[in-house]
Chain A
Amino acid sequence: MARTLIQLPATARRGEVIEVSALIAHPMETGYRPGADGRVLPRDIVRRFACRYNGELVFAAELHPAIAANPYLAFHTVATDSGTLEFEWTGDQGFRQVERRPLQVT
């Protein structure tokens, strides 16, 4: 299970724009580098990140080999209703991680 650092406010007013940041531990191996034995290491990157707010897609990103290890993404969304933000990372070699965080809207 990969480790993640997710930050968002615990509570927000309705209609407020909130900042959400998500960081995941991942090697982001480019697929272009030779390993210790001289053979090229197979590519192992996160391909896509998506954030769903109560099931609705509010942010998504495609990631590419030039992106550094442990990718960090920050974005904004409008707090509409209390509920859950679901963060999903998918990538090479069947990589998939889902994290959920609650948001209280007042």
Chain B
Amino acid sequence: MKRLSACWIAALLLGCAALPAAQDTRRSGFAEMGASTQAMQRDDAGNPAMLWVQDGEQLWRATPANARACAACHGEPAAMRGVAARYPAWDEGLRRPVNLGTRINACRQRHQHQPAWPAEHQELLALEALVGLQSRGQPIAPPDDARLLPHRARGEALYRERIGQLELSCMQCHDERAGGRLGAALIPQGHATGYPLYRLEWQALGSLGRRLRNCMTGVRAEPVAYGSEEMVQLELYLASRAKGMTVETPAVRP
């Protein structure tokens, strides 16, 4: 009897020890990279994405004809601290969820009376990188907005939907097979923590949208259009999936 209760106590103790196993198992792509690529991201003098940030700082202060500069309304770029960590968010003017790029373009059209930049435009990426950098080190904090819920749910459905000639969903690689290999490349968990980021494969800065379209082409599906509802919905779901992880913008990835 005494032995039995000792067993019980041992089991209880083990159970308690096992409790912290519910800890966060999410890993940023940063943790999966080689040491040299990690060093590149850590060192602001070696991270080529900082070239775009430099451009962004100039654009921030540049005054377009008959309009005000970003700095005239928002002040120093540091005032944008925490903003990028919230996006995608609901936009009152457009009455739909928008990502940071669309939001910057909306500001440009509404307040600067300039034409919107096309997707992946270098100047748009530069401003995105500058605004994103201000949130570096902060936790990703998707807004608690009821209007976003149906879009986030749709994003999750898209994440789970098998697409393309290869009939693969995002989930099958990035949840079920994360840590495995696709050819020589390691499959990351797919947390969008550092966009826009400098990808060595692109030799340039690119947005999350570009990366998503990349993956879709990879499974031979028709990629969703830049700025489309589906793209923002997927981005919304990815942000909620990475909630609480650290913003790394502008990151470097292989």
Contact = CB atoms under 8 A, between A and B. Distances in A.
Contacts of A7: 45
Interface residues of A, number: 14
Given A3-B54, A5-B51, A70-B51, A21 B203 contact: no
Output the residue of A21, A25, A27, A68 with the most chain B CB within 10 A.
Answer: A25
B64 interface: no
A25 B46 contact: no
Given A7-B45, A72-B46, A25 B200 contact: no
Contacts of B46: 5, 21, 23, 72, 74
Contacts of A27: 203
Interface string A1-18: 001011100000000000
A3 B203 contact: no
Interface of A: 3, 5-7, 21, 23, 25, 27-28, 68-70, 72, 74
Given A7-B45, A21-B45, A23-B48, A70 B203 contact: yes
Contacts of A23: 45-46, 48, 51
B45 A68 contact: no
A69 B204 contact: yes
Interface string B34-52: 0000000000111010110
B51 A25 contact: yes
Contacts of A28: 203
4 closest A-B pairs by CB: A7-B45, A69-B203, A70-B48, A25-B51
A84 to B, nearest CB: 19
Interface string B48-81: 1011001100000000000000000000000000
A23 B9 CA distance: 62
Nearest to B202: A69
Contacts of B54: 3, 5
